[in-house]
Amino acid sequence: MPWPRRGPVPSLRFEQAAWAESRVLVGVDEVGRGPLAGPVVAAAVAFPPRLRRVRGVRDSKLLSPAQREALLPRLRATALAIGIGAASIREIDRYNIRGATALAMRRALARVRLLLGLAEVTVLIDGLPFPEVGCPHQALVDGDALCYSVAAAGVLAKQIRDRLMRQLAVRHPGYGWEQNAGYCTPQHCEALTALGPTRHHRYSFAPVAQLGLEL
């Protein structure tokens, strides 16, 4: 399978710095802050020292669905630990998207920490510092382009969330979730007007909330 030639190749320098201190680096990324429907999903991934890199790992936005799908079993086979966390529609509407994202990250990290046992870890999160996550961490802007573990977490989170949205699209046809993953595309917005919101829509998000006011 041809892999994209554009975009930077994430390095292992952050992992190597952690391994040099006998620590495990855990890369964390999330997917699904912006859509009008569906949960927000986070992944946390740790790899062992002397890792043999999986070819093709990039910022998930540079990869096609087929490329991301092909990477999943290879990442699972080489990872030391993987944790997936999600926050539901109800939690997004209750805590707002930032609070729900932090909740998804905490759940993913809790799973990884359980799998790693007592190992000393360094947590590296994509983006800006995120105090709501509730644990010491480093933040790295464009982390999914610069750090291999963060990029791997992004690929896992993106593909798992997209799979879920394709499953929901079967039960709720017309919104185009199998293609737009719940984002605010013209097709999705037109279907919202014609069909109304489902129980998987985020009622706290303006396009959905405004529709409710108009109805």
Contact (Cβ atoms closer than 8 angstroms) between residue 25 and residue 150: no
The vertex-39 CA angle with 199 and 163, nearest 5°, equals: 100
Tell me the backbone φ, ψ of residue 82, rounded to 5 degrees.
-130, 135
Q: Distances from the Cα of 53 to the Cαs of 76, 106, 135, in angstroms?
A: 12, 26, 28
**Residue-level pLDDT, tens digit, the chain, 215 residues:** 565 656 689 999 999 999 999 999 999 999 999 999 999 999 999 999 988 899 999 999 999 999 999 999 999 999 999 999 999 999 999 999 999 999 999 999 999 999 999 889 999 999 999 999 999 999 999 999 999 999 999 999 999 999 999 999 999 999 999 999 999 999 999 999 999 999 999 999 988 887 754 43
Q: In the prediction, which pLDDT does 6 show? A: 65
Q: Of 3.40.50.300, 3.30.420.10, 1.10.10.10, 3.40.30.10, which CATH number belongs to 13-170?
A: 3.30.420.10
Q: In 79-214, which residue ranges form alpha helices assigned H by DSSP? A: 89-116, 143-146, 148-171, 177-180, 186-195, 206-214
Q: In the prediction, which pLDDT does 212 show? A: 56
Q: In the prediction, which pLDDT does 50 show? A: 85
Q: In the prediction, which pLDDT does 119 show? A: 87
Query: Which residues neighbour 188 within 8 Å (Cβ) at sequence distance 6 or greater?
Result: 36, 37, 175, 176, 177, 180, 182
Q: Which residue's structure tokens are 């690929």? A: 155
Report the distance separating Cα 153 and Cα 161, nearest Å.
Answer: 12
- Assigned token pair, 53: 């890199």
Query: The pTM is what?
Result: 0.93
Q: In the prediction, which pLDDT does 19 show? A: 95
Q: In the prediction, which pLDDT does 4 show? A: 60
What are the domain boundaries of the chain?
A: 13-170
Contact (Cβ atoms closer than 8 angstroms) between residue 57 and residue 11: no
Report the distance separating Cα 44 and Cα 155, nearest Å.
Answer: 11
